[in-house]
A and B are shown apart, each in its own frame.
Chain A
Amino acid sequence: MNSKVESKSAELSVDDPFAAAFVEQDIRGRSLWVDAWHRLLKNRAAVVSGVIMTIMVLLVVFGPMMLPWEGDFTDWDNTSSPPSLETGHWFGTDAVGRDILVRTLEGGRISLLVGLVATLVSLAIGVTYGAVAGYYGGMTDRVMMRIVDIIYALPFMFFVILLMVVFGRHIVLIFIAIGAVNWLDMARIVRGQTLSLKNTEFVEAARACGVDHQAIIRRHIIPNLLGVVMVYVTLTIPQVILVESFLSFLGLGVQEPMSSWGALVNDGAQDMESAPWTLVFPAAFLTVTLYCFNYIGDGMRDALDPKDRL
């Protein structure tokens, strides 16, 4: 292909510099995604956040393996010791001598996992549900959205406490509880977008070409929704992490010996006056993560819809 392009430019460059310049460019298509990606890379806050989050994920996944401590190991020689290089407890230890650094990283695994899984669950349910309701419209839409309204009206905390009481405390229940509530928002957003998409001419053109409904939803509606959905996902992950922290803070979340940032913040808050480091480090990790996701989400929104930005 290269030789072909070269020969063409050689042929044209003599009499038509514009055409030559055009031919020299590789005219492989540049999708809207690539365009958006380039705009995202120009957004400094989003890029920095992305780098920090990558480091954070690597730390959380591999960090605990590198450290000499186990998360549930109690160092009786150093209980409630402040951060220090000498003892090897860089972030200090808690009241029973557990290493805060290891516990923060292991808690991060749970927090990020909950954020990711619960978001994916709500993504899968919400997009399908919303796209179907919006696309078919009419009675289908009305019934489906009224169901959403009803579930929406259930008080979330009540729902979670009920789940815990009936099924006992288990981490899977947290995924279910958060996912069950979050898909409602997703479904609403997706439905609204689908309503406007289904009247576009390319959907009508596809129907006029004899493409069936399922294929239209799959090939034309969902790809056009992805931009909005991706932005929403990056803003949902921190929200979910926060909800999990909140549940853990109330003691409804993950149980010992497992931990999450929320649970650690809860522990730390109790010893805040005597051992502030038990609060500061997990809280810092949590905050940085939330900030980063929000910056990435904002950056993506701007990148995917450049017209919207002032």
Chain B
Amino acid sequence: MTALLKVSNLDVRFDTREGVVKAVNGMDFEIQEGETLAIVGESGAGKSQLVLSFMGLLAENGSVSGEALFRGRDLLRMKPKELNGIRGRHIAMIFQDPMTSLNPFLTIEKQMTEVVRHHQGLRKDEARAHAVEMLRAVRIPDPEERIRQYPHEYSGGMRQRVMIAIGLLCEPELLIADEPSTALDVTVQAQITELMAEIRKETRMSLILITHDLAVVAEAADRIIVMYAGEAVETGSVDDIFYRPQHPYTRGLLASVPRLDRASDDELQAIPGNPPNLLDLPSGCHFRDRCSEATEQCRERPPLWLAEGGRTSRCFLPMEGGEIAARGNDVEEAQ
């Protein structure tokens, strides 16, 4: 089976006054058709920049290198026009904050039909019927009436539903959701997460879910990438990550959120320290300053362990059933 999207050796750099910010460093991953991939990490780990980079949406001072093959075509080397044909039509994206993701001066109808008319050349009434259908699919009550309203007449949860509906309009093969429920309150969050899961089941599309909320991931994802300082420190299935975490960072993340399957008197453990400065990444393991298991050898770049099912971890700690796929130094030299 070939992957729907295969990203290899992707770097994102930002040129700033203070120097070059290394936001994403040598990311490799792929996503299969119908799969849900979650990218987890704290703020500033490079999760959003990773997806923005292959969507061609980086800020002006950003640059990207590497390869991102979508159905065998490299997104990073496409002309803007070609990319416009892919965006929205084949890969759709949902943003974090539904309150600002809709144009306040246009009706919901205009914003929704804009996309389909652009990509599929539908007539106005066809586009409208299609949009109403999509609003119904995301459980907006009374869609024929409400489609004529403006964003400020919708609640936050409803706006995010509209954003999801817009994302789904062209029936994309891949939907990227950048923290889709972060800006919403908890009950609405649950509804949105559930809705996304249902829709995914119905449509069989692939989903990249970016989040820092492990609870969302546990329910919705098939596979997880844990990012730290622009790097994938660990990847694996949901069960692997939750029950057999390898990397100390993943363990730290898991220990810092409350879980029902743990005794309630267990204290939550915060990870000490702050993520490293991306302007000046320390050599060796980026996590070593905050790691409880760091040793002298962590000053060197850790090796990449690879086990069955594409499970990886970048750490000196040996991975059970895994073998070393790349010595840390190989990469260092290649750079």
The chain A residues found within 8 Å of chain B, CB to CB, are 27-33, 137-138, 200-202, 204-212, 215, 219-220, 223-224, 226
Contacts and interface: CB of A to CB of B under 8 A. Distances in A.
Contacts of A29: 107-108, 148-150, 153
B118 A215 contact: yes
Contact of B95 (A30, A201, A212, A215): A201
B122 to A, nearest CB: 15
Contact of B87 (A33, A200, A210): A210
A33 B105 CA distance: 8
A138 B106 CA distance: 28
A202 B103 contact: yes
Given A32-B150, A210-B86, A211-B118, A205 B104 contact: no
The SS class assigned to the A binding surface is helix
B103 A220 contact: yes
A33 B80 CA distance: 34
Given A32-B104, A137-B60, A219-B114, A210 B119 contact: yes
Contact of A205 (B93, B107, B110): B93
Contacts of A138: 60
Given A212-B84, A224-B105, A28 B60 contact: no
B57 A207 contact: yes
A201 B97 CA distance: 8
A91 B89 CA distance: 69
Interface in B58-94: 60, 80-81, 83-89, 92-93
Given A28-B148, A210-B88, 19 more contacts: A27-B142, A27-B149, A28-B149, A30-B150, A200-B100, A201-B97, A202-B100, A205-B166, A206-B103, A206-B114, A207-B87, A208-B88, A210-B84, A210-B85, A210-B86, A210-B115, A219-B110, A223-B105, A223-B106
A209 B101 contact: no
Nearest 10 pairs between A and B by C-beta?
A: A209-B88, A29-B149, A210-B88, A210-B87, A208-B93, A210-B84, A223-B105, A201-B101, A201-B100, A202-B103
B265 interface: no
A24 B171 CA distance: 35
Interface in B105-128: 105-108, 110, 114-115, 118-119
A204 B95 contact: yes
B158 to A, nearest CB: 13
B152 interface: yes
A216 to B, nearest CB: 10
B58 to A, nearest CB: 11
A219 B106 contact: yes
Interface string B126-163: 00000000000000001001101110110000000001
A223 B111 CA distance: 13
Interface in B198-246: none
A212 B145 CA distance: 29
Interface of B: 55, 57, 60, 80-81, 83-89, 92-93, 95-97, 100-108, 110, 114-115, 118-119, 142, 145-146, 148-150, 152-153, 163, 166
B107 A31 contact: yes
A256 to B, nearest CB: 47
Contacts of A137: 60
B153 A30 contact: yes
B291 to A, nearest CB: 35
B105 A32 contact: yes
27 contacts: A27-B146, A29-B108, A29-B148, A30-B153, A31-B107, A31-B150, A32-B105, A137-B60, A201-B97, A201-B101, A202-B100, A202-B101, A204-B95, A205-B102, A206-B114, A208-B92, A208-B95, A209-B88, A209-B118, A210-B87, A211-B115, A211-B118, A212-B81, A215-B118, A220-B103, A223-B105, A224-B103
Nearest to A136: B60
A200 B96 CA distance: 12
Contacts of B114: 206, 209, 211, 215, 219
Contacts of B148: 27-29
Contacts of A220: 103, 106
B95 A224 contact: no
Given A31-B105, A224-B105, A210 B89 contact: yes
Contacts of B80: 212
Contacts of A205: 93, 95, 101-102, 163, 166
A281 B314 CA distance: 87
A154 to B, nearest CB: 32
A221 to B, nearest CB: 10
Nearest to B84: A210
B60 A208 contact: no
Contact of B57 (A31, A204, A226): A204
A32 B149 CA distance: 11
A259 B76 CA distance: 64
A59 to B, nearest CB: 35
Contacts of B119: 210
A31 B100 CA distance: 16
A209 B149 contact: no
B104 A224 contact: yes
B207 to A, nearest CB: 15
